[in-house]
Structure 1
Amino acid sequence: MFARFLQTAALTALLATPALAAPDTITLAMVLEPPNLDPTGGAAAAIDEVVYANLFEGLTRIGPDGSVKPGLAESWDVADDGKAYTFHLRPGVTFHDGAGFDAQDVIFSLDRARAPDSTNAQKGLFEGIETVEAIDPQTVRVTLKAPDGAFPFKMAWGDAVMLDPASVKEIATHPVGTGPFKFGEWKQGDHITLTAYDGYWGEKPALKTATFRFIGDPTAAFAAIMAGDIDAFPIYPAPETLAQIQSDPRFKVLVGTTEGETILAMNNAKAPLDNARVREAIAHAVNRQDIIDGAMFGYGTPIGTHFAPHHPDYTDLTAKSAHDPELAKKLLADAGVTNLTLRLALPPTPYARRGGEIVAAELRAIGIETQITNMEWAQWLEQVYKNADYDLTIISHVEPMDIGIYGRDKYYFNYQNPALREVLTKLDAATDPSERSNLLKQAQEIIANDYVNAYLFQLAKTGVAKAEIEGLWENAPMPANDLTGVHWKD
């Protein structure tokens, strides 16, 4: 009788116990640690990989399919002449410090980004703005100097997020945004933690905590995945192990595209790289497939200009710089260049370090020696990107539709071409899709014909995650680890 009572009690207790809830925390890994957490004041993609759509939001945003979607503006109207955009802000939005978000914050954020002393890495996004004015607390009108059909897209960049004026002084280390997650802690050299923001205006995320760990070494990345120490590695740095991971039922592999044009960048102002024939020789010396196979284990799409192959306006110009060592030698001879040694600066990413060794060997085959310097990320940003103190470097430009960088003053390529600038100016003003397509193709042709850089491959997005995780982006139309839709299977 007593035994039967125990059995009944145990069954009753079992039936009364709720099913185990899905986890509400996640640990993701990244190759690079961001130098700071201010997306409006730093060029590193690693900043957006932590904060975009998670901590900070803009008037608009990019969705996982690359489309422009409403953000803090729930809608917008365009004037008939295309020179004014009126943004209707969402009601009830607050910053993580409790301050309300309204039109004055939009004015502050956009005026700060376009100010003469602005340190925004994408200042060109805001150059077309004439005025920003509040119609009422929930309505903002942005008047442009000329029509710009791409303006909602520009406002979706991480560099255009909305800021809390009171928090700007500490934004680099203690950011305050309007997103579904707020800043938790940053243990430099190890991890950054975000926590769910209870006062979020939109749909609450399934996750309560997200931790970003920094693992740059491919061997360590593989070990961390296999040991279960991390839940997902959205941009996995060890593609040579993907087949092994894919065969393990504990994991899934996500293979997609990125906006990352991987290039052998050249300092066009530095002799003899100021000679187009020398740049062309370097472009013909490089075998793209060797780099894709040797550095990326077959993951990557060859490119011949600074444009994403998945974009409908992409032009395949790889034939202009096909691998041809003999032609490369002739071009160097025609330019009168002999006994050339160039400095090759390599950031810490695996594609750069592995690819750099291959590039050095292929340049040696045409008579160019290289002095390789392996740099940490902060050093590369300061010396190469900011001060243009380099000859060659390998880097992926992961910002979407960024061919406009070739028209900038004092950009680290040091490239100047009035014809390209004229095309880009027309592009900014064009609203007709067919005209924009034409101009984009012209721009691609110009930089390919000038051999501004040696164009290598479009970076693939090879991610790994535990099988139970859903909602991670397969493609990367923006450098981001958007966690708003990420959850564990129940």
Structure 2
Amino acid sequence: MNRKTLVLPAVVGLLAPVLAACGGTDSGSDGKAAIVVGTTDQFVATEDNPAPLDPAIGYEAGVWNVLRQTVQTLTHVPRGGGQPVPEAARSCTFTDRENESYRCRLRTGLTFADGTPVTAEDVKYSINRVIDIKSDSGPVGLLANIDTIETSGDDEVIFHLKTPDATFPYKLATPAAGIVQKSKYPARSPRNGFQVDGSGPYTMKPEIKNDQVVKVLFTRNPHYKGDLKVLNDKVELDLFPDAKAMGEALDAQKIDMMTRTMSPGQAQQMLEQPKDGIKLTEMPGLAISYLAFDTTDPAVKSKAVRQAIAQVVDRGQIAGQVYGATAEPLYSLIPSSITGHTNSFYNKYGEPSTTKAAGILQDAGIQTPVKFTLHYTTDHYGPATATEFKALKKQLNATGLFDVNVQGTPWAKYRPAQKRGDYAVYGMGWFPDFPDPDNYTAPFLDRNNFLNSPYKSALAQNTLIPQSRREDDRASAAKTFQKLQDIVATDVPVLPIWQGKQYVASRDGLTGVEWSVNSSADLQLWELGRSAV
């Protein structure tokens, strides 16, 4: 997420096997058609981002869903969740009581897809290049706590950390720590274009039109050695401009599986009017949506302005009227289903109140109405985003305390502008990199944060985040995370809006549906198969 940017609600629809006459699929090695998966994710090469699929650069859910199929990591989170287990490694463990030294041994005979051996030096090289490239939009923050990387022979790598970090095995399970080849990935610059090569379960071949990916064919990697069991020979990822086009392709049986992003209306219709042969299942969903603030911008520099916005936003109305059954109100950066969650925003602000908001502004000497623009991306978070931001504008302007406009921008321009600090207030989303409360706090509050935010909390960065990472038992860190959530509710560098729900809809013909999307909304295409006819 993530990490990553949010695309919600994520609803997966699985239909019958693709008919040859419906077109477009390659045959698997066993003669069966490739499983075809639809998505509205877009991968575009631009001047700002010529290397969208480089593990050192790409830090959003759609990109990671390509990387997870192709680039192997030392560890991975097992299909049912829980603590990470070895993947490219045969064993990994902390070697000290302080959780500052982590040792992994590689599997015997591990190779890249072209047959080149994978060594401990390749692991060191891959992770160091992410740190050295230090992309302001990339996942370097996940690896920032690494002090040095040591190798011993061809199969042993030891990570020495700057401070204790019980979450480090989770970070090694993300594509940020993906293993790449020196010959194909420059040490200090991105690999431009859309090709991805690694030692993962699949090789990939992108189809490109006008500097944009329209299709990716994943083919089982015959050299793959790891912990994953690959249950198919080929999967084709088809990219659609919007949910409507993807839905039409599903109806026409041109795709087998519809992933991100289905519109709330489509999801609601499937819930209310089930179709014969299709089962809709709600699965764990950990994605969140939020407003973020440039805390140096004159319009929202005052904490009182941000607090007043927090005081009047009606999350229940947004979730209920815009997203229906696919979202619920969120009063913290940490979702309600994650250990350590507390309703810090509700505890501080209670129900929406214009009177209280006016008092906050008056006490701070802020003249009203406060003018600013709400920015959102038109093509990244699904078709309901525009409706959500119109509703937010209406809520804020109805108080008389704000004079708000809204502006939508395509993601290819939106994300670079957001990183540059062009927007005072803007909408974003988050899929977790791993299901731990640390991944809902550190990416927004720590140094090298995901938003490139100017906001800083010395207490969070210097004390609370390091303190939370010392706890092997994550439940023991709950009080620390409560303090972090309370800081966010008081300073409001970000404003949580809603938490998404995740669904999988399936028809007879495909197997492994229940494992094809995990709680972090990661695609696990290797889990899909076809039932015997």
TM-score (norm 2): 0.82
Counterpart-to-counterpart distance in 1, 2:106 and 2:315: 47
Which AA in structure 2 matches 1:60?
T
Rate the CA distance shift 1:448–1:475 in 2: closer, same or farther, 3 A.
farther
**Residue 61 of structure 2 is aligned to residue 61 of structure 1:** no
**Residue 339 of structure 2 is aligned to residue 330 of structure 1:** no
Counterpart-to-counterpart distance in 2, 1:433 and 1:372: 40
DSSP 3-state at the match of 1:298: helix
**Residue 449 of structure 2 is aligned to residue 425 of structure 1:** no
Counterpart-to-counterpart distance in 2, 1:27 and 1:270: 45
| Partner in structure 2 of residue 17 of structure 1 | none
Q: Which runs of 5+ in 2 are unaligned?
A: 1-29, 45-51
**Residue 431 of structure 2 is aligned to residue 415 of structure 1:** no
| Partner in structure 1 of residue 487 of structure 2 | 446
Which AA in structure 2 matches 1:46?
G
Q: Which moved more, 1:420-429 or 1:117-126?
A: 117-126
**Residue 232 of structure 2 is aligned to residue 199 of structure 1:** no
| Partner in structure 2 of residue 180 of structure 1 | 201
Counterpart-to-counterpart distance in 2, 1:393 and 1:119: 18
DSSP 3-state at the match of 1:130: strand
| Partner in structure 2 of residue 165 of structure 1 | 182
| Partner in structure 1 of residue 441 of structure 2 | 403
Instruction: State the Cα distance separating 1:245 from its structure 2 match.
Output: 3.6
Rate the CA distance shift 1:38–1:207 in 2: closer, same or farther, 3 A.
same
Structure with higher RCO (Cα < 8 A, 6+ apart): 2
Rate the CA distance shift 1:404–1:450 in 2: closer, same or farther, 3 A.
same
Q: Which moved more, 1:451-460 or 1:218-227?
A: 218-227
TM-superposition CA deviations, 1:5-35 (whole Å, max 9, x none): xxxxxxxxxxxxxxxx994511112222134
**Residue 38 of structure 2 is aligned to residue 29 of structure 1:** yes
Rate the CA distance shift 1:189–1:198 in 2: closer, same or farther, 3 A.
closer
| Partner in structure 2 of residue 227 of structure 1 | 252
Rate the CA distance shift 1:345–1:433 in 2: closer, same or farther, 3 A.
closer
**Residue 399 of structure 2 is aligned to residue 366 of structure 1:** yes
**Residue 59 of structure 2 is aligned to residue 43 of structure 1:** yes
Instruction: State the Cα distance separating 1:124 from its structure 2 match.
Output: 2.2
Instruction: State the Cα distance separating 1:243 from its structure 2 match.
Output: 4.9
Q: What is the aligned-residue RMSD (CA, Å)?
A: 2.3
Which AA in structure 2 matches 1:404?
A
DSSP 3-state at the match of 1:46: helix
DSSP 3-state at the match of 2:284: strand
Q: Which moved more, 1:317-326 or 1:364-373?
A: 317-326
Instruction: State the Cα distance separating 1:126 from its structure 2 match.
Output: 1.8
Counterpart-to-counterpart distance in 2, 1:430 and 1:158: 24
Aligned residues: 468
Which AA in structure 1 matches 2:354?
P
| Partner in structure 1 of residue 159 of structure 2 | 142
Matched-pair contact (CA < 8 Å) for 1:196–1:209: yes
Matched-pair contact (CA < 8 Å) for 1:27–1:213: yes
| Partner in structure 1 of residue 507 of structure 2 | 466
Rate the CA distance shift 1:435–1:205 in 2: closer, same or farther, 3 A.
closer
2:333 aligned to which of 289, 292, 306: 306
| Partner in structure 2 of residue 9 of structure 1 | none
Identity %: 21
Rate the CA distance shift 1:257–1:432 in 2: closer, same or farther, 3 A.
closer
| Partner in structure 2 of residue 90 of structure 1 | 107
Which AA in structure 1 matches 2:218?
L
Counterpart-to-counterpart distance in 1, 2:512 and 2:133: 40
| Partner in structure 1 of residue 173 of structure 2 | 156
Rate the CA distance shift 1:395–1:85 in 2: closer, same or farther, 3 A.
same
**Residue 496 of structure 2 is aligned to residue 455 of structure 1:** yes
DSSP 3-state at the match of 2:91: strand
Counterpart-to-counterpart distance in 1, 2:268 and 2:326: 12
Counterpart-to-counterpart distance in 2, 1:462 and 1:353: 22
Instruction: State the Cα distance separating 1:329 from its structure 2 match.
Output: 3.0
Q: Which moved more, 1:424-433 or 1:337-346?
A: 424-433
1:391 aligned to which of 383, 400, 424: 424
TM-superposition CA deviations, 1:11-70 (whole Å, max 9, x none): xxxxxxxxxx99451111222213422232122221012221x11121111234332222
Which AA in structure 1 matches 2:520?
M
Q: How does 1:181-330 map to 2 (within 5 A)?
A: 181-187=202-208, 188=212, 190-202=214-226, 205-245=230-270, 247-319=274-346, 320-321=348-349, 322-330=351-359
Counterpart-to-counterpart distance in 2, 1:409 and 1:199: 36
Matched-pair contact (CA < 8 Å) for 2:71–2:178: yes
Matched-pair contact (CA < 8 Å) for 2:164–2:466: no
Q: Which runs of 5+ in 1 are unaligned?
A: 1-20
**Residue 409 of structure 2 is aligned to residue 379 of structure 1:** no
DSSP 3-state at the match of 1:168: coil
Matched-pair contact (CA < 8 Å) for 1:404–1:424: yes
